[in-house]
Structure 1
Amino acid sequence: MNRRRSRPTLPTRLAPVALVAALAGCGVVGGVPGSAPKGGGRSFTVAAAGDILMHPQLIDQARADARETGRGTAGLDFGPLMAGIKPVISKADLAICHMEPVIGKPNGPFETYPDFLVPPQIAGTVKDIGYDTCSTASNHSLDHGYTGVKRTLDTLDAAGLEHTGSFRTKKDSLTPLIMDVKGVKVAQLSFAFGFNAHELPRDKPWLVNQNDLGRIEAAEKRARAAGAEVVILSIHWGREHRPNPTVPQLEFARRLARETDIDLVIGHHGHVVQPMEKVDGTWIAYSLGNQVARHAVPTGLTEEGVIGWFTFTERGGTWDVEARYEPTLLEMPPEARSDADGAPAEPAKGQVKDYRVVDVAAELERDDLSDLQRSRLRLAFDRTEGTMLNRGAAKDGLKPLVERPG
């Protein structure tokens, strides 16, 4: 039985020009974003983005940036890498990250696939760009066992980030994460399909949440009983590198929409952008792609991501959710080359020199882009738009947060 009441599509509230001004850091224009729309009650905004993975090339970039900025900890500064998305993330009333890997120690050692161990310095950057909370249930959660889980959560705590999905104690696993967002009690859940070659320890089966409809439903009920008015599910699912959700994803999404009262589903693990669609009144984001990752074999799709932007508005005791998306791109320098004397060669004219995560729409406003850069940004925006809408979400009002500049 579908227990959810229908949620009508909301009218557009913001002109693109106003959004550009607000999200580019020029100050919040009256009514932008997150204020209650005309005729509505309480309102708040949520920004959520894709997987955070720190591959070796990105750690090398943070090391080079620390030498330039003189900032960071233990010779690593991830700030310049991530700064391009701060104007969007920091404007949301609640910003949700997905911390996929296990966090290590400041001086390493660091590890990449298959068992990730990444610098803890990334947590401070995630907080600095505006994130409030992170989901931590992923297929890599158990890469370094209980010690890795505990260190990851301790690091997020030290950075001032909330978290859920993996836990230090059984009591923690049964205690809902509920945050006050503009006077609304919002709960976050986090679940993952499995843990690669690792298994949950027999004496700690609660260590990481594993996908199961009954467990998700029970977690939602605990959150509601603890006072949650809105429940958001972060879920690690599907298959990697596929721009379309799998049949099991689609089926599970329908069960989540019809058999629970979860208000929003945010998907991860695909490492490429997958569509959003509204199922029986519930928005499902199947995969937000990568927020930041540098795979061993970049495909073009793996550098593209999306920030989902959701406006919740209370109407007659229920919550309407308006969905938007903002394409992002990890700009990548060319593979390292050497000149005839063995010294590092400069990138060719028009190529980027550093790894940088950028807000595609904002970056396209620049007037100093090379033709090559502009072409790549347009491709990222148009491809993301096509993917976002390829399950018919346009009819339910899904559109870009900011329209693509010329």
Structure 2
Amino acid sequence: MKWFSWTAWASLLIILSVIGYSVSYQKVQELLLPAFSYEFSFNPVERSSFEYELPTRTITIGMAGDVLLHKDLNNYEDYRPSFSGVRDMTRSLDFFLINLESLAAGEAYELSGYPNFNSTDTIADGLVDLGSDLIMVSNNHTLDKRPAGLRQSLANLQERDLPYVGAYTSAEDAATKRIFEVDALTIGVVSYTYGLNGHIVPADQPYLVNLIDVAKIQSDIRDLDTEVDLVIALMHWGTEYELEENAEQNYLATIAHQAGADIIFGGHPHVLQPYEVMESGDKKTHIFYSLGNFFSGQTIENTNYGGVAVLSVETDGDDILAIEPSFYPTEVTFTPDRVVVNPMPESQASFWTNHIGVPLYE
């Protein structure tokens, strides 16, 4: 061990001393300090479940029956007094439609009643005063004054900024979809008539009037359904003065329902016909087969009773949650000064709402 120098011995003693001190210090700490537990527990805060609900709103869609201006009704300088009894109701609706079954081409095309109807253009001012948002112009009297009379009638509506559907001034006009933004809803509308009382659509102007054609109805509705929340189909159909829908109306309603129509409003019978909901799977179509006469000079039994069909659509802005039907009955009254429209007396209103099968609109 001679080779092991004294400096090596000194280093060894220092190392052993440090090790001894560390062991002794740890033992002392174990004796002096209390034991400490590292166990950890977690108690989560209890939270109640919460689902955010979008605010809902109700949008009212209403359609009035036929406006058919017979002789002595076709020359009023001002139609607004005739509608004053129902104006507040129609103007309260969010989206109001009406069927103008007479042309409004004015004196240049001869004012006339049955069988070829044409009135002063002032009827358009009356429709504006009612709060009309869309005018149905496809019916069996659309070409009563030939294509020129139709164009003038439509020009008179355009002059008042009244949108129309079912008859058109050009191919471009016909190709323009009738889509409306009504609050949270996007609504698309199509319109057709069974015929034209023998008048012929010129071969070079096929766009003038939408005639009932199954393939066209299916194509139009399916195409529109991809762009809107609701599709409304307006149908001029049925048998005049019959209080019930016929088999053809039911068939065409089925076609429109299967294509995607949500609402169908009908006219032409000039009397009130029932309401029906057509269902297949999750799809529902609300159908008012005929809304009767809203304003006319007819005196045949039941033709002075009509009204406004109303569908109250509940939506949260994303989905349609419910659609509820009701009916606002009206009556045409002949006074010494003029023909007027008023709310139907309660006794008759109860009968006709029961006949249609929906509650009274309130």
Could you tell me how far 1:383 is from its partner in structure 2?
3.2
Give 2:70's aligned residue.
55
Give 1:240's aligned residue.
240
Contact residue 289 and residue 305 of structure 1 kept, 8 A: yes
Give 1:35's aligned residue.
none
2:310 and 2:113 mapped to 1: Cα distance?
Answer: 30
Of 280, 287, 292, the match for 2:290:
287
2:61 partner letter: V
Contact residue 74 and residue 112 of structure 2 kept, 8 A: no
1:153 partner letter: L
Give 1:83's aligned residue.
84
The secondary structure found in structure 1 opposite 2:349 is helix
1:193-204 aligned within 5 A: 193-204=194-205
2:177 and 2:296 mapped to 1: Cα distance?
Answer: 29
Of 326, 329, 336, the match for 1:327:
329
The secondary structure found in structure 2 opposite 1:249 is helix
Structure 2 CA distance for partners of 1:128 and 1:106, relative to 1, 3 Å: farther
TM-score, normalization by structure 2: 0.79
1:293 partner letter: S
Structure 2 CA distance for partners of 1:268 and 1:147, relative to 1, 3 Å: same
The unaligned stretches of length 5 or more in structure 1 are 1-37, 63-75, 334-351, 361-376, 390-397
Q: How many corresponding residue pairs?
A: 305
1:206 and 1:59 mapped to 2: Cα distance?
Answer: 27
Contact residue 291 and residue 306 of structure 2 kept, 8 A: yes
Q: Deviations over 1:82-108 (max 9, x none)?
A: 111111100011000111122222576
Give 1:264's aligned residue.
263
Contact residue 237 and residue 249 of structure 2 kept, 8 A: yes
Give 1:382's aligned residue.
350
2:67 partner letter: I
1:401 partner letter: Y
Could you tell me how far 1:183 is from its partner in structure 2?
3.5
Could you tell me how far 1:39 is from its partner in structure 2?
7.5
1:144-183 aligned within 5 A: 144-183=145-184
1:102-181 aligned within 5 A: 102-105=103-106, 109-181=110-182
Q: Deviations over 1:361-381 (max 9, x none)?
A: xxxxxxxxxxxxxxxx34531
2:339 partner letter: Y
2:338 and 2:346 mapped to 1: Cα distance?
Answer: 19
Structure 2 CA distance for partners of 1:108 and 1:209, relative to 1, 3 Å: closer
Could you tell me how far 1:176 is from its partner in structure 2?
0.6
The unaligned stretches of length 5 or more in structure 2 are 1-52
Contact residue 137 and residue 236 of structure 1 kept, 8 A: yes
Could you tell me how far 1:319 is from its partner in structure 2?
5.4
The secondary structure found in structure 2 opposite 1:130 is coil
Contact residue 40 and residue 313 of structure 1 kept, 8 A: no
Structure 2 CA distance for partners of 1:39 and 1:286, relative to 1, 3 Å: farther
Give 1:67's aligned residue.
none
Contact residue 290 and residue 304 of structure 1 kept, 8 A: yes
Contact residue 109 and residue 149 of structure 2 kept, 8 A: no
RMSD: 2.0
2:338 and 2:311 mapped to 1: Cα distance?
Answer: 31
Give 1:276's aligned residue.
275
1:249 and 1:171 mapped to 2: Cα distance?
Answer: 30
Could you tell me how far 1:145 is from its partner in structure 2?
1.8
Contact residue 218 and residue 255 of structure 2 kept, 8 A: no
2:342 and 2:235 mapped to 1: Cα distance?
Answer: 24
Return the index of the structure with the highest Cα Rg.
2
1:212 and 1:41 mapped to 2: Cα distance?
Answer: 38
Could you tell me how far 1:229 is from its partner in structure 2?
1.9
The secondary structure found in structure 1 opposite 2:73 is helix
Q: Deviations over 1:267-313 (max 9, x none)?
A: 00010111111111211000000010012xx1241111021111112
Could you tell me how far 1:59 is from its partner in structure 2?
3.8
Give 1:213's aligned residue.
214
Higher strand share: 2
Could you tell me how far 1:354 is from its partner in structure 2?
4.3
Could you tell me how far 1:382 is from its partner in structure 2?
3.2
Identity %: 25
Moved over 6 A (4+): none
Contact residue 53 and residue 292 of structure 1 kept, 8 A: yes
2:255 and 2:234 mapped to 1: Cα distance?
Answer: 15
TM-score, normalization by structure 1: 0.71
Structure 2 CA distance for partners of 1:188 and 1:239, relative to 1, 3 Å: same
1:338-349 aligned within 5 A: none
Q: Deviations over 1:62-83 (max 9, x none)?
A: 3xxxxxxxxxxxxx11111111
2:177 and 2:163 mapped to 1: Cα distance?
Answer: 11
2:62 partner letter: A
Contact residue 313 and residue 320 of structure 2 kept, 8 A: no
Of 342, 352, 357, the match for 1:358:
342
1:50 and 1:152 mapped to 2: Cα distance?
Answer: 19
